[in-house]
Amino acid sequence: SPDGINYIIPGNDDAMRSIRLYTESVASAAKAGRGQDLAVQAEQDGFVEAE
């Protein structure tokens, strides 16, 4: 088991379609999570600083 890996996702990492599926899913989850963090911070502080 590699260090720092919490979840193993089985799949064909040599096929472009599989790579696209995984990267789009991860990007979508990251964007959704990032938006939630700003909303929570804004509710708590009333102020959000964006860079």
Chain segment 17-44, per-residue pLDDT in tens: 988 998 999 999 888 877 665 656 666 6
**How far is it, in rounded angstroms, from Cα 44 to Cα 30?**
21
Asked, for residue 24, whether it belongs to a domain, the answer is yes
Asked, for residue 19, whether it belongs to a domain, the answer is yes
Asked, for residue 39, whether it belongs to a domain, the answer is yes
User: Could you give the number of structural domains in the chain?
Assistant: 1
**How far is it, in rounded angstroms, from Cα 35 to Cα 14?**
31
Asked, for residue 38, whether it belongs to a domain, the answer is yes
Q: Name which of 22, 21, 27 is nearest 7 in CA terms.
A: 22
Asked, for residue 17, whether it belongs to a domain, the answer is yes
CA–CA distance from 29 to each of 6, 7, 10, 11, 47 (Å)? 16, 15, 18, 19, 24
pTM over 0.85: no
Which residue range forms the structural domain that includes residue 29?
12-44
Q: What is the pLDDT of residue 27?
A: 92
